[in-house]
Amino acid sequence: MTASSATAITSVKGRRVWDSRGRPTVEADVTLAGGALGRAIAPAGASRGSHEAIDLRDGGPRFGGWDVTEALRQINGAIARALGGLDAADQDAVDAALIALDGTPNKANLGGNATIAVSMAVLHAAAAAAGKPLWRHLWDRGGNSGTPVLPLPEIQIFGGGAHAGRRIDVQDFMVIATGADDYDQALAWTAEVYIAAGKIMAERGLLQGVADEGGFWPAFDANEDAAETLLRAIEKAGLKPGEQVAISLDIAASEFGRGGRYRLAREDRGMSSGELAEMLLGWVGRYPIVSVEDPMAEDDPEGFIAFAAAAPKHLQIVGDDFLVTSADRVRAAARDKTVNCALIKPNQAGTVTETKAAFDAAQAAGLGAIVSARSGETEDVTIVHLAVGWGARQLKVGSFTRSERMAKWNEGLRVADALGTAALPPKSAFPWG
């Protein structure tokens, strides 16, 4: 059997599985003529950019409207027919077929959940047919030489916004082990901070539960209280704030802002984009904050430009809802100097090829790139392999608890063993380096 016939797609099957919120999601199996099998599961976001690929959900009363029988019908019907016989080794051609079959800019016909599950499953099948782990398949296919490094983890400690009943307005208070020597140490330091934060919260009677991404669901009176408590947790863990472990924020401002106006419900406070920027940059001055994601709403590019112009040089400014893993939007952001880093989420784009195009656009423009999970996740570990195989410098998965998160951090440890090194990118690769 020739290599080309061995990698021909012979079947595509979708099934309903369940994500970390107990909601239905889509899993796809892709089988090749040579017997190789690829499998992947679509994640789901709660805080979503208006221009990202649409999840196809059934609506109605069943499972709160979240069921995916229509998305599965598309996989097992139109998608299976369209991809039958295509070469799984040609990811661009497979994804082009999916894009053409859907025919919309946001995967509204097939569902972005259907297309990304199938697209990632094809990628896994091609790697299996090549007899390589996915990260190696991607690294080799990219024409790279040498040994890849592990991405620097960005890990949530406190959840808020849409991930925690809006108990606080800011969506994520995270840590980055900026001083870690390797991936294993970055995880170990984060574990100590997470434990210390839990002890502080318990002592103060501030625990309310666990947020969607596994972080603590806090009962803070004000948003800044979370930054102050996180600083104390780093210190309580015996680590040096800003030197060994720094703070990262996901503001997710589209969740509480529109038209250049913002409202912090926790503090019953209305703000202009300038006032929001002043508040956030004040935090940057008072705390060891090295990264701020979506400091302004997606419809406020002027606010982004002003924020970036006023921010200190060491600050990483990340676009998520603002960029929605779109190569065109990434290039525009680089041109307009709105952000210096792009968040890369495969299900925002809907196919692996479009995701990689956004990643490549960021690299070409000199922007950073963070491969990221979503708030609704599963045991699927594809993004870890994408991050390593593409050479991404950072990985954002959620917190340091719950198996859908730990599966991904632990996969990084297995990749490190396979590489024979847990090396991280050099500190000079980051704005704060």
The verdict on whether 13 is a catalytic residue reads no
CA–CA dist 95, 101 (Å, integer):
10
Q: What are residue 41's DSSP bridge partners?
A: 27
> What burial class does residue 301 get, using C-beta atoms within 10 Å of its C-beta: 0-12 exposed, 13-18 middle, 19+ buried?
middle
Q: How is the beta sheet containing 257-258 ordered, strand by strand? A: 257-258, 261-264, 269-272
The verdict on whether 408 is a catalytic residue reads no
CA–CA dist 356, 349 (Å, integer):
9
Cα distance from N-terminal residue to C-terminal residue, the chain: 51
Give all strands (DSSP E) within 19-159, no chain letters. Answer: 24-32, 37-41, 152-159
Considering 107, 345, 396, 408, which one is annotated as catalytic?
Answer: 345
CA–CA dist 342, 323 (Å, integer):
7
CA–CA dist 91, 127 (Å, integer):
11
**CA-closest candidate to residue 341, choices 367, 311, 310:** 367
Considering 154, 213, 293, 354, which one is annotated as catalytic?
Answer: 213
Active site amino acids? 213, 345
